[in-house]
Amino acid sequence: MPNKVKYGLKNVYYAKATIDAATNTATYATPVAWPGAVNLSMEAQGESTNFRADNVDYWVGQSNNGYEGDFESALIPDSFKKDILGYIEDGNGVLVEDAGAPTRPFALLFQFEGDAHAVRHVLYNVTSGRPSVASETTGDTIEPVTETASMTAVAIHNATLDKDIVKASVTPDQAAQYNGWFENVYQPTAPSGT
């Protein structure tokens, strides 16, 4: 039975990507857990193109420019700051933000709960902005302050499919892939019948 609703974000991981500039394909490091997920909101990017002929929309095309949005978590892990944002850990263990360090691409893996089953997802080629620095004084109660990173997910080429891909998702029906989803970044196989 398919989900009627989705809710709940958990099991967020990131996996550093190494992109071959000549082929625009990626290899991925082992996914690293990102605890404290609060909210993920990624808006689809792209435009519709209408070609009018014979007094009607004769042809309509849609471009897929990936997704753009924000990921909010309790804290952004130090491992992510070092692996993706280029922070440096000095000889005393102090984390230093390198103003000249380029951000690195990564895959973002996560799970949405649902009324029938949880669906696991991966965005294959994500870049992240730096989080803002913010907090506030405490009052009668302590309210946690979260951290948010702006993210953009764009296509990456998959040699097996010979297609540019942005995202994949899996349900428990595909048990082998579902159970190992957070161990490695899933790579599509050739469609059946090819």
Per-residue model confidence as pLDDT tens digits over 149-188: 999 999 999 999 999 999 999 999 998 999 999 999 999 9
Average pLDDT over residues 7-33: 94
Domain assignment present for residue 156? The answer is: yes
The torsion defined by the Cα of 76, 114, 183 and 106, in degrees rounded to 10, comes to -40
In this predicted structure, the answer to whether residue 88 has a pLDDT above a threshold of 60 is: yes
Domain assignment present for residue 55? The answer is: no
Q: Which domain holds residue 71?
A: 6-48+61-179
In this predicted structure, the answer to whether residue 23 has a pLDDT above a threshold of 80 is: yes
pTM of the model: 0.86
* pLDDT tens string 109-159: 999 987 568 899 999 999 999 888 777 777 788 888 889 999 999 999 999
Q: Binning pLDDT at 50, 70 and 90, where does residue 191 land?
A: confident
Domain assignment present for residue 149? The answer is: yes
Domain assignment present for residue 56? The answer is: no
CA geometry: angle at 124 spanning 42 and 7, to 5°?
A: 40
Domain assignment present for residue 148? The answer is: yes
pLDDT at position 57 is 80
Total domains in the fold of the chain: 1
CA distances from 143 to 9, 15, 140, 146 (A): 20, 31, 10, 10
Domain assignment present for residue 1? The answer is: no
* pLDDT tens string 26-63: 999 999 999 999 999 988 887 777 888 888 888 777 77
Domain assignment present for residue 191? The answer is: no
Domain assignment present for residue 186? The answer is: no
In this predicted structure, the answer to whether residue 77 has a pLDDT above a threshold of 90 is: yes
CATH number, position 89: 2.30.110
